[in-house]
Amino acid sequence: MDLTVRPIEESEFDTFHAKMARGFGGDPDPKDDPSFFREIIEFDRTVAAFDGDEMVGTGGAFSFDLTVPGGVLAMAGTTIISVQPTHRRRGVLRAMMKAHLEEVRRRGEPLAGLWASESSIYGRFGYGQATDLHQVKLDAGTIEFSGDAPAGAVRLVEPDEARASMKTVYERIRPTRPGMLSRSEAWWTGRMMYDPEHRRRGRYAKRFAVYTGPAGVEGYAVYRQKDKWDDFPEGEIRVSELMAATPDAHEALWRYLTRIDLFPRVEYWNLPVDDELPWRVVEARRVRRQVWDALWIRLVDIPRALQGRSYRAEGRLVLGVRDPFMPDNDGRYLLEAGPGGVTCARTSDDADLELDVSALGALYLGGRSISTLARAGWVRGDAVTLATAGALFAWDPQPWCPEIF
């Protein structure tokens, strides 16, 4: 195999788009307008593998700002990774990931992140499972809220009006929760508002509900509906995003979604794991939840990544990090956090804690119990050190990434 890896030229976009679709087992939809994808793709951040003249692998990155505990850092959003079935198990993915992470390092981005198509793939490239989500299913007829209804109002609005309100609410919430991503204008257009009929899977167009409280618009929900009739109406509401900047907005939007006539089945594929919905209802068991992995994090520049977040406790910790895929990251790092700020640098001191870079990625956003990882063999250290590290890395609220990219 004569393998080369490089970014694509704009003239190769159609081939790249088709190969990506086929790598995931499908074809480009002939009804689809690929211009929305062309608007958000960054050609200089694409990664394509060629066997001779044949494109056999695709990949790339989106440039995001990621909310981390107490701050914001640049993150490469690893995406559209695929290998043609004729070239599996031949080193194509490894070569693309190496080129991708080297490009991330050259750009000076301390982090890379992704959503994994298969959770067994990306640990070997140094990504750690940093966030989870709850897939939620509700039988609306059994949901009873325990408190009084908020005083504000929920309105259905058209897409143009919704967009401005959604952006305002999203930017109000984004700095407050680790795992959330910046959204460009092209992203709002091509991902959030894009709604062609053939992408609805038998459902109706997106509906946009906004909650207005005393201070103005405080939350929104985006959802689709699908009819189902047997002896009784069994319609479905599929929520694609719900953002609430206040407790009243949260409760009002969920009350609204569970009180729409003829649509008793309500599903949301990505609820934060610490969301208060189960605590708002009389019987929490009625909020049926299933846990899935969500955003995976990879530390590319370890000192910058660790200095770029805040820590709730004061402490000194020497981390012995092993990074088989980027071996020049191997080494020991002194992390010191306190009232005066945070420092992190390489050191020759003995390690207090030893772990692979993927475990450090899992811990990074503050959503993992370090003692759990230690019992599973992912982190090695004595009880006192583990307690110190646990206090340092823990964060509230839990990390959450609202969308797949």
Please give the positions annotated as active site: 122, 405
> How many degrees, rounded to 5, is the angle at CA 180 between CA 179 and CA 182?
135
φ/ψ of 153, rounded to 5, equals -130, 145
Q: In what order do the strands lie in the sheet with 379-380?
A: 341-346, 331-338, 315-322, 353-356, 379-380
User: What is the rounded (10 degree) CA torsion for 342, 129, 356, 371?
Assistant: 80
* Pair type for strands 132-139 and 288-293: antiparallel
Q: Is 341 helix (H, G, I), strand (E, B) or coil?
A: strand
Give the containing element (helix H, strand E) for 307. Answer: helix 302-307
Which residues make beta-bridge pairs with 213?
216
| Bond from prior residue into 397 cis (ω within 30 degrees of 0) | yes
Contact call for residues 73 and 66 (beta carbons, < 8 A): yes
Spatial CA neighbour of 367 closest among 390, 337, 385: 390
Instruction: Give the helix ranges, DSSP H, for 150-231.
Output: 159-173, 185-187
How far, in Å, CA of 198 to CA of 33, rounded?
A: 11
CA 56-105-116 angle, to 5 degrees, is 50
Which pair of structure tokens corresponds to residue 168? 């305002």
User: Which residues, in sequence order, are bridge partners of residue 334?
Assistant: 318, 345
Q: How far apart are the first and last CA of the chain?
A: 31
Tokens of 322: 């092993």
Which spans in 146-226 are helix H? 159-173, 185-187
Radius of gyration of the chain from its Cα atoms, rounded to whole angstroms:
23
Is 63:25 a contact under the CB 8 Å cutoff? no
